[in-house]
Amino acid sequence: MAGKRIVILGGGFGGITAALELRRALAADHQITLVDRRGTFMMGLRKLWVLIGRGTRQEGTRSLDSLKARGIQVHRAAVTAIDARTRTVRTDTASIPFDYLIVALGAEPRTDLIPGFGPPAFNLYDPDDAERVAGRIRTFREGRILVAVLGVPYKCPPAPYEAAMMLDDLFRKLGLRDGVEIHASTPQPMSLPVVGAAGCAQVEGQLAGKGIRFTPNRKVMKVNGNSLVSDGTTIPADLLIGVPPHRPPAVARESGLTMRGEWISVDPATLRASIDGIFAIGDVVEIPLANGMALPKAGVFAEEQAKVVAAQITGEITGRPEPAPYRGHGYCFIEMGSGQASMVQGDFFATPAPAVQVTPPSAEAY
Ligand SMILES: Cc1cc2nc3c(=O)[nH]c(=O)nc-3n(C[C@H](O)[C@H](O)[C@H](O)COP(=O)(O)OP(=O)(O)OC[C@H]3O[C@@H](n4cnc5c(N)ncnc54)[C@H](O)[C@@H]3O)c2cc1C
């Protein structure tokens, strides 16, 4: 069989895993091209460590060019269009034809959707802001810090609570905690709805035990400096660290592969989009769960989905038997400060609702 052209859009958790899996499985005459506008990949959780001054973002960053040594073509450019009809991807510098396409373009934090959100407030999910807020925290001596989810969906749902607990730990160690109020809020009815009431009770119990005030159902209309405006009430703060709602990149929304013009729609078992030979994985897709919620956006899911897709493409090209479907199992850790973490683990495709457990915090999980 003539060599196939497999193009992967996005060099994040999903795209890198797909590229590596395919390269391992396929002979060299099959071409694997990874396209990303950035030249580097950074572990998301490093932003939280940067925030509290534990290490630098460079320590969690690697060059995508290192994939070239493994036989993967890396094309650094912005993807501007996906033309499923002509089976071509257009970037700002080239047109790239494909036999198979994997869309792994992630989700974008959209500060513009929250009026007034910007300096002096900080975006927890922006690496530059994580560095800037670390500088502000170094000089923070007393006052109120709000860690606020400003809209949904957003990736790594536990991250804002981790940030609040890591700040608690930091100010305790500095002997400043008595003068620093820490609040966490979300527009959702509980901290992590997808883990269910028992899991949320664990997380919210941890927040309460550390003296972090948690407010669910706080819908934010706008931000005014460091203050939140919710239902006509202003919640003042000295430092606001927000998580904006996420949306798919414009090129994904305009690809013709979406559900109601937003997230890409796929078969949950195969990650196949509506057009033959096109797959989508990770944060850019929305996978509905049995209880009407959506599969959370997290690197562990993107990575697992990438493996399933790589196995299917390999199977089609080499004639190997049909691989196992994607089953929606996953786990992640919630860092809680003081060298402790909880593990969130479960079957997100279970019916009638995800079967997910949150373990008590332990040094082992950390
Ligand atoms: C603070 C924080 C902590 C986190 N902690 C965890 C954790 O502990 N565990 C976990 O599982 N997940 C965690 N995550 C979430 C995780 O980072 C994401 O869910 C994961 O990166 C999604 O992978 P992806 O491949 O779908 O997209 P991404 O990793 O976001 O990759 C998408 C890529 O597409 C590129 N791209 C987008 N549009 C274009 C375009 N038009 N042209 C070219 N390139 C484009 C981007 O540059 C990017 O490199 C965390 C995230 C944050 C912010």
In this structure, are 116 and 231 located in the same domain?
Answer: yes
What is the DSSP code (8-state) at residue 193? Answer: G
CA of 178 to the centre of ligand 1 (A): 36
- Phi-psi domain of 221 (left: phi exceeds 0; alpha: psi -120 through 50; beta: other): alpha
123 lies in some domain:
yes
Domain of residue 90 covers 5-107+248-326
| Domains contained in the chain, number | 2
Nearest CA, atom 8, ligand 1: 45
| pLDDT for the residue numbered 1 | 59
- Whether 358 and 343 have beta carbons less than 8 Å apart is answered as yes
Residue 213, classed as helix, strand or coil, is strand
- Whether 126 and 109 have beta carbons less than 8 Å apart is answered as yes
Query: For residues 117 and 111, what is the distance between their CA atoms, to the nearest angstrom?
Result: 6
| pLDDT for the residue numbered 259 | 77
Q: Which residues line ligand 1 (CB under 6 A)?
A: 10-15, 35-38, 44-45, 47-48, 78-79, 104-106, 125, 155-156, 159, 249, 251, 282-284, 297-300, 302, 332
Tens of pLDDT along the chain (366 residues) come to: 589 999 999 999 999 999 999 999 999 999 999 999 999 999 888 889 999 999 899 999 999 999 999 999 999 999 999 999 999 999 999 999 999 999 999 999 999 999 999 999 999 999 999 999 999 999 999 999 999 999 999 999 999 999 999 999 999 999 999 999 999 999 999 999 999 999 999 999 999 999 999 999 999 999 999 999 998 899 999 999 999 999 999 999 999 999 777 999 999 999 999 999 999 999 999 999 999 999 999 999 999 999 999 999 999 999 988 789 999 999 999 999 999 999 999 999 999 999 999 999 999 999
Beta bridge partner(s), residue 181: 144
Query: For residues 329 and 308, what is the distance between their CA atoms, to the nearest angstrom?
Result: 12
In this structure, are 217 and 307 located in the same domain?
Answer: no
- Whether 276 and 283 have beta carbons less than 8 Å apart is answered as no
In this structure, are 229 and 296 located in the same domain?
Answer: no
296 lies in some domain:
yes
In this structure, are 153 and 232 located in the same domain?
Answer: yes
In this structure, are 292 and 277 located in the same domain?
Answer: yes
Q: Which of 227, 245, 263 is the last residue of a domain?
A: 245
349 lies in some domain:
no
Q: Which of 228, 245, 262 is the last residue of a domain?
A: 245
139 lies in some domain:
yes
In this structure, are 241 and 118 located in the same domain?
Answer: yes
Q: What is the pLDDT of residues 299-318, one digit of tens each?
A: 999 999 999 999 999 999 99
In this structure, are 199 and 211 located in the same domain?
Answer: yes
CATH code assigned at 126 = 3.50.50.60
In this structure, are 142 and 232 located in the same domain?
Answer: yes
- Whether 51 and 125 have beta carbons less than 8 Å apart is answered as no
| pLDDT for the residue numbered 46 | 86
Give the max Cα distance, the chain.
69
In this structure, are 102 and 126 located in the same domain?
Answer: no
Q: Which of 245, 273, 308 is the last residue of a domain?
A: 245
Beta bridge partner(s), residue 362: 341
- Reference 117, options 248, 251, 220; nearest CA is 220
In this structure, are 100 and 113 located in the same domain?
Answer: no
Residue 301 CA: nearest ligand 1 atom is: 11
181 lies in some domain:
yes
- Select from 37, 74, 75, 105 the residue to mutate for testing ligand 1; criterion: most ligand atoms less than 8 Å from CB: 105
348 lies in some domain:
no
In this structure, are 121 and 192 located in the same domain?
Answer: yes
In this structure, are 233 and 144 located in the same domain?
Answer: yes
What is the DSSP code (8-state) at residue 21? Answer: H
Query: For residues 203 and 188, what is the distance between their CA atoms, to the nearest angstrom?
Result: 14
193 lies in some domain:
yes
- Whether 184 and 275 have beta carbons less than 8 Å apart is answered as no
- Whether 126 and 107 have beta carbons less than 8 Å apart is answered as no
Tell the residue number behind the tokens 């974008």, with chain if given: 108
331 lies in some domain:
no
